[in-house]
Homo-oligomer: A and B are copies of this chain.
Amino acid sequence: MITVSSLTDLRKARKKLCEPVGFVPTMGYLHEGHISLVRRAKSECRSVVVSIYVNPSQFGPHEDFEKYPRNLEGDIALLEKAGVDLLWTPTNACMYPPGYQTWIDVEKLSQPLEGALRPGHFRGVATIVAKLFNCVQPQKAYFGQKDAQQAAIICQMTEDLNFPIDIVVCPTVREKDGLAMSSRNCYLTQEQRSAAKVMVQALDLARQLFEQGERQTAPLVEIVQHTVEQQTGVILQYAACVDPKTFLPMDTITDQALLLIAIQTGDTRLIDNIELTVAPVAG
């Protein structure tokens, strides 16, 4: 694996890669979720590029940019082992030089849910992803379904701005007890870690209700709310059942929906989601 930091070195190394190039942008502190993206990229592309960059512009002033976990040495070992061709670790000076002033807004999809709770977050995400795309110039790019709204925003931006890139959204990877993998899980105390499982339990109960035939979203959202409220040490930030394309709330599920949840435990925010799909009637 070649590791580069400057944009000049990246562009030089990129030119030597066989195409199609698959790209996995990350903020580092890698876990099995990230590695599953790399594996998928390796299975579909002749070369795989990973970036590790904790992007300051997607953190709010009171968020965890400073304390976001970092472990470059461990990350490099994981990526080497996974067979990545090129690792890029850009610097802030390169990504946001003095005078930097260009921002990308994906307007409607950035409004609700995470966008409402984290003003400016998705503007930072859309902008850095566009920048990374222009630097790496991949044919395919891989994102996790765990960050469902982010994935939808990146799909929309890629289509709207005509990037010649296929976006591949990959399934959420979970711990043994079901908690969605996240670099932020390392923030949790043992008690918080245990309490956080309520997210999966709540989503599972809603899924059961859906599988029993419930097609109204209100009872599905209510069971999530009710389940989380029973758990001490956890505050529900939102539970919502939305159209997977628009992220607007739905009343009735006719085809497909996303059931999204965000909780806070201590200082840590955690999110998760499941897809609810109406099975086609056998013909």
Contact = CB atoms under 8 A, between A and B. Distances in A.
Interface of A: 7, 11, 99-109, 126-127, 130-131, 134-135, 137, 156-157, 160-164, 245-246
Contacts of A246: 99
A96 to B, nearest CB: 9
Contact of A101 (B99, B103, B134, B160): B160
Contacts of A102: 104-107, 126, 156-157, 160-161
A160 B134 CA distance: 10
Contact of A7 (B7, B130, B160, B162): B162
A126 B134 CA distance: 16
**Residue of A109, A127, A156, A161 with most chain B CB atoms under a 10 A cut-off:** A161
A131 B161 contact: yes
B108 A162 contact: no
Given A102-B106, A102-B156, 11 more contacts: A7-B162, A100-B160, A101-B160, A102-B157, A103-B105, A127-B161, A130-B161, A131-B160, A131-B161, A134-B162, A135-B162
A122 to B, nearest CB: 11
B161 A134 contact: yes
A163 B104 CA distance: 14
A246 B101 CA distance: 11
A156 B109 CA distance: 26
Contacts of A137: 164
Contacts of A157: 102
**Residue of A103, A135, A157 with most chain B CB atoms under a 10 A cut-off:** A103
**Residue of A127, A130, A162 with most chain B CB atoms under a 10 A cut-off:** A162
A103 to B, nearest CB: 5
